[in-house]
Structure 1
Amino acid sequence: MGKEIIYITASGWSTPSLTSSECNQVTWDGPDDPQNPKNWSTRRKWATSLIISSFAFLSPLCSSITAPALSSIGEDLHIRVGAELQLVLSIFLLAYAIGPFVLSPCSEVWGRVPVIRFGNMVFILFTALCGAATSQTQITAFRFLAGLGGSASVGMGSGVLTDCWRPEERGRGIAVYQLTQVLGPAVGPIAGGYISQYASWRWCFFIIVFANITVQIIAFFFLQETYAPRLLQDKARELRERTGNPMLRTEWEQSDEDRSFAQLLLKALCRPWVMLGTQPIVQVLAVYQAFNFGTLYLLISGFPALWEDRYGMPRGDASLNYLSLAIGSLVGVNICGPATDAVYAALKRRRGISDDQPGVPEFRMPLVVPVSIISPAAIFLYGWAAQAKLHWIVPNIGAAIFAGSAIICYQCISAYLADSYSLHSASASSACAFLRSILAFAFPLFVPALFGNLGYGVGGSVIGAVAIVVGMPAPWIIWFYGARMRGASQFSGRTVTPGRKLGCVSQKV
């Protein structure tokens, strides 16, 4: 007797018109498959977004909470004032540059949730040890290791949101996530200022530990896997056990079936470096995003000297000036979220793209054009107002405008990368996070030389001039040449296409 191939689909038996590899490919059970994160309910998507955003808030909060307490830390641990003391603040951000290059690619092998949970356990452990540190070596090492763990949610958060939100609804979800990453550094010094004024600086770390444990417990029950290849691999494994057909594979398992696990992991770990080295889109946007992030941390680290020394404010009152960064960020996210989705929808209509079809990633760029002009103007305002020692509200206005424009830029770039690189959005984000964190690490080290030697006016003018050179060309380059660069990319445009084929089995008849 011969063999006849019988095809099994979601709806029953199908005609034997598919190739063997096609019928053995496991994908979603139709476009409305409830297991596909993009088909989750809005409530479930927002639950995932808020949990990830909470992690992404607490980690940057820890990065800046020590800023107003540095003098107390230096006195207790005998750390000299200057670059050594600033290193206690900045070393956390150096870890941010390294961590995503390991953790984000691992999420594309094992899935998002296990890596996020592991990273946060490392963050909790070493943040607690920071609070118990007794020497400069200990607190510097523990801060670095805490930053490695904390980089997990920051590096792959946008990937999680890309997994669940569709392009036309992605703006608001990413806006909230990106807000937390900017709001955390802005709120941290306020909390740190009052904690260090009325209690020991060690409680800056212990409070973060208690908050993170709370979120970790919530995430244990409500945070579910979102990475499509990981979910489909689990589905394929279940089908192989149920049908006895060892040939059932996902698209990614079939394409990588000749590779060992070590080779797959090595490929994933190399991907962010390859993207940073070969993708002009990532390079252009990473430099712009990194400059904004570095400038934000420059302001954060320079605030204590400005408000306590130049304006003569008590430490607690001086920390309230960080509210300008928080308020600016809130205004920015409330503008960017709705405006990004509205502009995206309007450009789709203008191009004649139907509602059920996604637009092009370049539709995320229009808001960056005015931001690239407003941002350097805000830096000039901040610097010269501080130099003239105008009323404290004036430099705060400059700082607030910069923070708002920075988060709009940040959100638009993150949405653009998510739309452009789809399944490899975590690797693209980690590539950007590398440059972003390097500048956030380096810029605060220049504060004494920049503002101390040049003054706030000239120092601010230097930063503003660089913002013009770096920022203004970026959105136009992407708008005019982004599609061409994406078309030449090996990482762009690969998505999970909903289908009906679940597999096939061979039977003797």
Structure 2
Amino acid sequence: MANKNVHINTVSTGSTNTVELAQPTPRPAVQAASLDPNLVTWDGPDDPENPKNWPTRRKWTSLLPMSLFNFLSSISSATMAPALYTIQQELHFESTVLVVLALSVFLLGTAIVPLFTAPLSEVFGRSIVLQSCNLFYITFNTLCGAAKTPNQLIAFRFLAGLGGAGPFAIGSGINADLFRPQERGQAIAVYVLAPLVGVVVGPIAGGFLVQYTSWRWCFYVVSIAGAAVQIVGLPYFRETYAPVLLQRKCKRLQKSTQNPDLYTEHDSVSMPELLRISAIRPFKLLGTQPIVQVWSLYCAYLWGILYLLIATFPNVWTDTYKESISIGSLNYISLFIGMGLASQVGTRIADRYYAKLCAKNGGQGLPEFRLPILIFGACIIPVGLFWYGWSARPNVHWIMPNIGAAIYGGGTVLEILCVMGYIIDTYQKYAASAMAAVIVLRSILAFALPLIAPSLYNNLGYGWGNSLLAFIATFIGIPATIALRYYGPALRKRSTYARDD
């Protein structure tokens, strides 16, 4: 029975790993594992194989390919926005609503897949699931460019959305895998900014492509870029999910030590049962976790407004200000400026504030430390919507609605950054599943809201139409932030999912 105090450590000898029996170190992280000599875990809190201990460069080379996949998928979701009228004429869509459906149905696909890709990534690992989704996306996005009928375009867009959704939830899991809470600010900023920049860059590129080439190249160009990222990023993207890495380590040790009894704490459940548990986890999180429910609703609404603006933005510049499609698409730059400034400046402020609150709390970080910046963003989003809506008039200079759009874009980025940080900090091990639950509602509303845009603005105009959107954003965002400021700790304490990995 004495050997129950022995822990398996791997020791590197040349190019091979051997196993030695050693007395447990006094580190608390190792003491639990030392109770069973056959349990394979990290070799202490500083184990270099643990993704959280990887060198900074290695972390970022694993994160950036995923962010590029995210960026390209988001470009694809919006590139065809300036081409809607051309597509409607060429493919003979019967109504404006149907051609807008072809744009937004991509997002309906993204609402479904994260419920499966996120849990699958928590079983098989992030890398294989993410790259499989990307190949699926490239295939059907290319077919969108070859569509001959409205039905073909809508179907291929939906299928492309299924593949393009891979990075949305998996990316939050990769962030949780690689970075500790105090390190996540810049990583989350890159992950969040990539799709938001994508939905801005996409229409700009689409405006020039449709005017000087063909709307079909809106799809072909993105597919070519996606294939390039897939090929170039393949050697750099490494598996980051700790349970999968530990299982691989266990298999190596079983082979090198000839000890079939070695196991990890994740081996106690059979593969079918693990798949079942993982598949229903996002639904459980959405159905039982008030934190996920609140942030899902808020993110869904913000994302819906963003795509509503993207779908209607060209009309403001071509109809109200009589600009060409290509020149009008350049006004999307205002959204990019607002988002970029918020991402860089807001992230630095948020990180400093988070560090300051951690220091006051004895070095212990809490998800609630991200809320002060979040409530600021909740206040400036309505300002941007009011400004944009009431200044979009022929007798008002075109720079004014651009300023409003920039303010709105900046506020949206701040909110999504803080919400993601809160969710990742709260559900670290299950961050991908938690974000999948958020993405479901987010994508559904982003799919649905653009469909009501023609009726909204035809009946209320840009002024009152955007005012209505602003009132609803205020009603959801500010009370939600205040409520979680006071009740968040109690909700986390009661949750079986809100624990450190």
TM-score with structure 2 length normalisation? 0.94
From 290, 296, 321, the equivalent of 2:300 is 290
Residue 271 in structure 1 maps to residue 281 in structure 2: yes
Corresponding position: 1:13 with 2:12: no
C-alpha change, 1:391 and 1:425, in structure 2 (3 Å) is same
Cα gap change, 1:253/1:393 in structure 2, threshold over 3 Å: closer, same or farther? same
The alignment partner of 1:422 has SS state of coil
Among 407, 410, 418, which residue is 2:416 paired with?
A: 410
Aligned pairs for 1:197-276 (under 5 A) are 197-254=211-268, 256=269, 260-276=270-286
Q: CA deviation at 1:185?
A: 0.4
Instruction: Name the residue aligned to 2:96.
Output: 82
For the pair 1:162 / 2:172, whether they are aligned, the reply is: no
- Matched residues in 1 for 2:355 and 2:69: separation? 30
Deviation at residue 453 of structure 1 after TM alignment? 1.3
Give the secondary structure class of the aligned counterpart of 2:409: helix
| Deviation of 1:490 (Å) | 1.1
Does structure 1 conserve the Cα–Cα contact (< 8 Å) formed by 2:88 and 2:96?
Answer: no
**Are the structure 2 counterparts of residues 343 and 126 from structure 1 closer, same or farther at C-alpha, using a change threshold of 3 Å?**
same
Pick from 458, 461, 471 the counterpart of residue 452 of structure 1.
458
Q: Distance in 2 between matches of 1:237 and 1:180?
A: 36
Q: 1:100 is matched by which residue type in structure 2?
A: P
The one of 364, 380, 391 aligned to 2:370? 364
* Residues 1:398 and 2:404 aligned together: yes
Local SS of the residue matching 1:225: coil
In the TM superposition, residue 21 of structure 1 has moved relative to its aligned partner by 6.5
Amino acid at match of 2:445: L
Task: Please tell me the residue identity of whatever aligns with 1:166.
Answer: R
The C-alpha deviation readout for 1:104-136, integer Å capped at 9, x for no partner, is 110001000000000000001001111111111
Partner of 2:322: 312
CA distance in 2, matches of 1:3, 1:169: 40
C-alpha distance in structure 2 between counterparts of 1:389 and 1:474, whole Å:
38
2:440 alignment partner AA: F
List alignment gaps of at least 5 residues for structure 1. Answer: 496-509
User: What CA distance in whole angstroms lies between the structure 1 residues aligned with 2:33 and 2:127?
Assistant: 35
RMSD after superposition = 1.8
Residue identity matched to 1:485: L
Q: CA deviation at 1:165?
A: 1.2
Structure 2: gaps of 5 or more residues:
12-19, 25-30
Distance, in Å, in 1 between the alignment partners of 2:357 and 2:205 is 42
Shift, 1:352, TM fit:
2.3
Contact conserved, 2:185 with 2:350, CA < 8 A, in 1?
Answer: yes
Distance 2:271 2:41 in 1: 22
Output one character per residue of 1:452-493: Cα deviation in whole Å (capped at 9) or x when no partner.
111111111111110110111121112111111111111111
Query: What is the rounded CA distance, in whole Å, between the counterparts of 1:6 and 1:330 in structure 2?
Result: 53
Query: What does residue 499 of structure 1 align with?
Result: none
Between 335-344 and 273-282, report the one with greater CA deviation.
335-344
Residue matched to 1:504: none
Residue 72 of structure 2: which of 58, 73, 77 is its match? Answer: 58
Q: Does the 8 Å contact 2:109/2:162 carry over to 1?
A: yes
Higher RCO (CA < 8 A, seq sep 6+): 1
Structure 2 matches for 1:179-194, cutoff 5 A? 179-194=193-208
Residue 430, structure 1, aligned to residue 436, structure 2: yes
Give the Å deviation of 1:169: 1.0
Q: 2:126·2:239 contact (CA, 8 Å) conserved in 1?
A: yes
Pairwise CA distance, 1:3: 11
Measured after TM superposition, the shift of residue 294 of structure 1 is: 0.8
CA shift, 1:330, in A, is: 0.3
Query: C-alpha offsets along residues 391-441 of structure 1, whole Å, 9 cap, x if unaligned?
Result: 111111111111111011101111111111011000001111011111110
| TM-score with structure 1 setting the length | 0.92
Q: For residue 291 of structure 1, what is the amino acid of its counterpart?
A: Y
1:93, 1:147 within 8 Å by CA — same for their partners in 2? Answer: yes
